[in-house]
Amino acid sequence: MRIIVLPGDGIGPEISQATVAVLEAADRAFGLGLSYDYEEIGFASLEKHGTTLRDETLERAKAYDGILLGPVSHMDYPPRDKGGPNPSAAFRVKLDLYANVRPARSRPFLNASAKEMDLVIMREATEGFYPDRNMFKGSGEFMPTPDVVIAMRKLTAHACERIARAAFVLAMKRRRKVTAIHKANNFILSDGFFLDKVHKVGAEFPEVTIEEVIVDAMAAHLVRHPQRYDVIVATNFHADILSDLASELSGGLGLAGSINANAETGRVCAQAQHGSAPDIQGQNKANPTSLILSAAMMLSWLGEQRRIPALEAAGAAIDRAVDAVLADPNARTPDLGGPLGTDAFGERVAKAVVRS
């Protein structure tokens, strides 16, 4: 089982190292046969190769069973034509990793006052309002005159139906409820189109309840009663915002895992939900939980897709180990009021995996 590790920018190398330490522990405990290769992306690649992401790196990644993608500082990169493409977007589009799966669940031992939450947001990641992924060539955002900006949105039946199907398949394994997010009261054609495709796919899953919620109302509902929701499906932009909100309500972006996947091609990429946090880079204080949980999701996804129980068991063990460590106030990183550094936290989780 071959994993390519792309540490990225800022705290990326530190949390990637901690995550690999946990994966190595899972490998020892479950006999997974994991191996790792490393490749530079982001500023390290820009300095060495003149681009933040080489075509060779993308092509090479296709040959691996899994991709571990660290956070990137894409807002600080030069323009795309000057060598600064966003690696995260490029992997999603060029490898067609259309399903950005973002779970959010509360942990009472971290915040006793937090409302109960256990949901998953299925985000379509290859089109929508994002101008770097809705045109064959060029950008979907442009200025025809100095005082006019136009941004275009693209939705296709293919993309809407496959993210909807991924949501319904997941809901069948959970509480059998899908909530479709939209703004069809204003985006009558485009969001109406998305809803039509969700209901079309939903007809194949009569056991699953479907509801529609307008995106701004959904933001309020997540704050008021998040326990009502199971699987939430949305187009790229809506889901991007709501997933950050849900993760923050459940404890913070630093505690939320995420994968980008395509069940048809069998490709999967583990990626933390948070950014590169350059302000704490190199200080050994970053919380690696998000990337560790993302790696656990990657193992579980691969195990399910390939029918390899050991991979699924390893993913579940990492998930339990993270909770076991976080339950101890003295085993947390500084962002959670604890004393541990990034590497020490990773070591604690690794030991907990072996004991599980």
Domain spans, the chain: 1-100+268-356, 115-249
Report the helix count and the strand count for the chain, using DSSP H and E: 11, 12
What is the pLDDT at residue 138? 84
- The topology (CATH level 3) of 1-100+268-356 is Isopropylmalate Dehydrogenase (3.40.718)
What is the pLDDT, as a whole number, of residue 61? 97
Q: Which residues contact 188 (CB under 8 A, 6 or more apart)?
A: none
pLDDT at 113: 78
Query: What's the pLDDT score for residue 114?
Result: 82
Topology alike, domains 1-100+268-356 and 115-249: yes
Whether the per-residue pLDDT at 132 is higher than 90: the answer is: no
Q: Is 112's pLDDT higher than 90?
A: no
pLDDT of residue 47: 95
User: Residue 325: its pLDDT value, please?
Assistant: 97
- Catalytic residue list contains 132: no
Q: Is 191 a catalytic residue?
A: no
User: For this structure, is 216 an active site residue?
Assistant: yes
Give me the mean pLDDT over the 274-298 stretch.
96
Give 322's pLDDT tier (boundaries 50, 70, 90).
very high
Q: Is the pLDDT of residue 139 over 90?
A: no
DSSP 131: T
| 183 in active site | yes
Note the pLDDT tens digit of each residue in 37-61: 999 999 999 999 999 999 999 999 9
Predicted local distance difference test score (pLDDT) of residue 137: 83
pLDDT attached to residue 294: 98
How far apart (Å, rounded) are the C-alpha atoms in residues 311 and 214? 38
For residue 94, the model assigns a pLDDT of 94
DSSP 137-205: SS-SEEEEETTEEEE--B--HHHHHHHHHHHHHHHHHTTSEEEEEE-TTTSTTHHHHHHHHHHHHHTT-
How far, CA to CA in Å, does 239 sit from each of 51, 65, 101, 121, 247?
Answer: 29, 27, 10, 7, 12
Given the residues 27, 130, 191, 197, select the one marked as catalytic: 130
Mean pLDDT over all residues of the chain? 96
Contact predicate 102/121, CB 8 Å: yes
Q: Are 294 and 278 in contact (CB under 8 A)?
A: no
- The number of C-alpha atoms within 13 Å of 98 and in the hemisphere containing its C-beta is 25
Q: What is the pLDDT of residue 244?
A: 95
Say which CATH architecture domain 115-249 belongs to. 3-Layer(aba) Sandwich (3.40)
Distances (CA, A) of 25 to 18, 134, 226, 344: 11, 41, 34, 14
Res 341: pLDDT:
97
pLDDT band at residue 184 under the 50/70/90 scheme: very high
Please state the rounded mean pLDDT for residues 20-44: 97
240 counts as catalytic: yes
* pLDDT of amino acid 209: 98
Inter-residue contact 24 to 36 (CB < 8 Å): no
Minimum mean pLDDT range among 162-176, 202-216, 240-254, 301-315: 240-254
Report d(CA 35, CA 5) in Å as an integer. 10
Q: Output the CA torsion 335→66→26→342 (10° steps).
A: -20
Instruction: State yes or no: pLDDT of 228 exceeds 80.
Output: yes
Residue 337: closest CA among 102, 115, 109: 109
Choice among 118, 244, 323, 343 that is catalytic: 244
Single out the catalytic residue among 27, 64, 65, 183: 183
The proportion of the chain whose per-residue pLDDT surpasses 70, expressed as a percent, equals 100
Interval 125-138 mean pLDDT: 88
Are 234 and 102 in contact by the 8 Å Cβ rule? The answer is no
